[in-house]
């Protein structure tokens, strides 16, 4: 009789299997993450970043604004996604930039249960998960320089990977959710310095 395989956690599975991944570098961050992945989101976008800034993105292809070479705030794209029923969760390590806060203040539509910003000073991971089917992990913060939205010679040198691997997605989303929901707050040694522990929300 064949022995029954024991269940393994997603993290244990990561150490015993292979996954298909693609390299994402420099300008390709913008095309891969902003245009392709977030642009096609249908149910959820989860973002983790140390720094959060008001990334300006190209107007949609086929619009007059695009023909005029216009850019607009990523906050406007977030509004479009929320209108479509997409859940956005953003976990950030430093306070958002002044321009991001200003763009946020100009819209009431992101005062919605579908859009949540949470600040944890210990967050340094850079991750984007879309629809539970696409994952980016790498060095890029959610900023114009990090995501390749700036011109050649001004953007950061960044490297990361993208994948649709379900085990990697499960493991990283579980980690994100533990931090986002405040499950890591109780044992945190920096709790006394935290402006607003997530488990007190």
Tokens representing 109?
């539509």
pLDDT band with cut points at 50, 70 and 90 for residue 2: very low
CATH code for the domain of 125 = 3.30.870.10
What number of CA atoms fall less than 13 Å from residue 120's CA on the CB side? 26
Q: Quote helix, strand, coil % in the chain, to nearest 5.
A: 30, 20, 50
Is residue 23 domain-resident? Answer: yes
In a domain, 24, yes or no: yes
For the chain, give the mean pLDDT. 89
Dist. CA 35–CA 2, nearest whole Å: 48
Q: How far apart are CA 137 and CA 127, in angstroms?
A: 5
State how many domains the chain has.
1
Q: Is 189 part of a structural domain of the chain?
A: no
pTM above 0.75, yes or no: yes
Give residue 161's domain range: 19-183
- Tens of pLDDT, residues 35-69: 999 999 999 999 999 999 999 888 777 777 667 77
Residue 117 in domain: yes
Q: What percent of the chain has pLDDT over 90?
A: 70
């Amino acid at each position: 009789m064949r022995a029954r395989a024991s269940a393994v956690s997603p993290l244990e599975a990561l150490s015993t299997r292979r996954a298909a991944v693609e390299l994402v570098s420099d300008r390709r961050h913008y095309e891969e993450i902003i245009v392709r992945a977030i642009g096609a989101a249908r149910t959820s976008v989860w973002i983790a970043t140390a720094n959060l800034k008001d990334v300006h993105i190209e107007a949609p292809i086929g619009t007059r604004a695009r023909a005029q070479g216009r850019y607009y705030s990523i906050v406007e794209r977030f509004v479009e996604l929320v209108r479509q029923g997409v859940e956005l969760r953003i976990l950030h390590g430093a306070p958002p930039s002044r321009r991001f806060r200003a763009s946020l203040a100009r819209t009431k539509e992101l005062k919605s249960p579908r859009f949540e910003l949470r600040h944890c000073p210990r967050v340094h991971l850079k991750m984007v998960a879309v629809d539970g089917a696409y994952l980016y992990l790498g060095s890029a913060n959610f900023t114009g320089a990090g995501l390749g939205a700036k011109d050649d010679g001004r953007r950061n040198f960044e490297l990361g990977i993208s994948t649709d691997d379900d085990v990697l997605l499960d493991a990283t989303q579980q980690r994100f959710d533990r931090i986002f929901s405040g499950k890591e707050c109780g044992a945190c040694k920096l709790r006394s310095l935290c402006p607003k522990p997530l488990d007190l929300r």
